[in-house]
Amino acid sequence: MEMRNLGRSGLKVTNICLGTMAFGRWIDEAASARVIDTTLEAGINFFDTADMYGRGMDSGDFSERGQSEEILGRHLGARRQRIVLASKVRHRMGSGPNDEGLSRKHIMDAIEGSLRRLRTDYLDLYQCHAFDPATPLEETMEALTDLVRQGKVRYIGCSNFAAWQIAKAHGISDRRGLARFISVQPQYSLLVRSVEAELVPFCLSEGVGMMVYSPLARGLLTGKYRAGEPLPEASRGAAGERLLHALMTERNFRKVERFRQLCAQWGLSMARAATAWVLASPAVTAAIVGASQPAQVADAVSGAALKLTPEQKQALDDLDVIA
């Protein structure tokens, strides 16, 4: 596996990161354990989770959130020291008024829950899962810095932040001598390219590492879903995943069909080509792959090793102009 520095930090991570939102939600513990083992055997050292991941994301039962962290904690064991372990804080974990957000109160409570579930003394990367307009950013950055100084967190990052929000956070950190965000986690794929307008050039300018989620557009870019055809059984689409259905537009299906034709012409699998295209961006440190079976880990590793030709890269870039 290729190692890359996460932003301008000294932290080295593989260019594939295992995303674990499926653990305890779409796949059970035994299946999750097989994915974990396969990921480690492949040489991937980067794992991403969040405190909210679990069945509770769908059921609304807060007691069923945190299952992804619990499964990771039980099955990593002594292997935890071999990996860069990332988790996130922001979303609701209980019914109380302070059970969500990026306030000092919630951050300090949430880190203890994550460390307990993950059975570790520290997180390598702790990320704000989304911006919190109800909390002063100064309060958030000071709380995160305290966690770094306490040794509970090594680095801090953010997810789903706009470029201006990271810039504001950096300004606060620089003025007050606080820890800085070293990374951002946005959605990015051949079908979702809005980050190219501002976030990508910002990250290149300011040395912020991008670890991008949904590089396969939640499965659309694997070819498993086709316009007008029944959704495959046991798929995320059949389970009614909201974010996937939002991508199922007529225009996106046209792009996917053209992508399918190009991959067939080149003799490449769609998953490999989609992963390789994302990793070809100089702003991207790692692609987060939400594997639910070992074969998907192997596909991701294969995609990470693929280097597209300039002509192939341009043809995929041009998919965005399809009307």
With beta carbons less than 8 A apart as the criterion, state whether 317 and 35 touch. Answer: no
The two beta strands, 12-14 and 16-19, are: unpaired
Helix or strand holding residue 85 (H, E): strand 84-89
How many other CB atoms sit within 10 Å of the CB of residue 131?
20
The secondary structure of 272-303 as a DSSP string is HHHHHHHHTSTTEEEEEE--SSHHHHHHHHHH
What is the DSSP secondary-structure string of 245-261?
Answer: HHH--HHHHHHHHHHHH
Instruction: Supply φ then ψ for residue 220, to 5 degrees.
Output: -60, -35
Let me know if 53 is a catalytic residue: yes
Q: Which of 53, 188, 213, 225 is catalytic?
A: 53
Sign (positive/negative) of CA torsion 188, 199, 181, 13? positive
CA distance 284 to 88: 19
Catalytic residues: 53
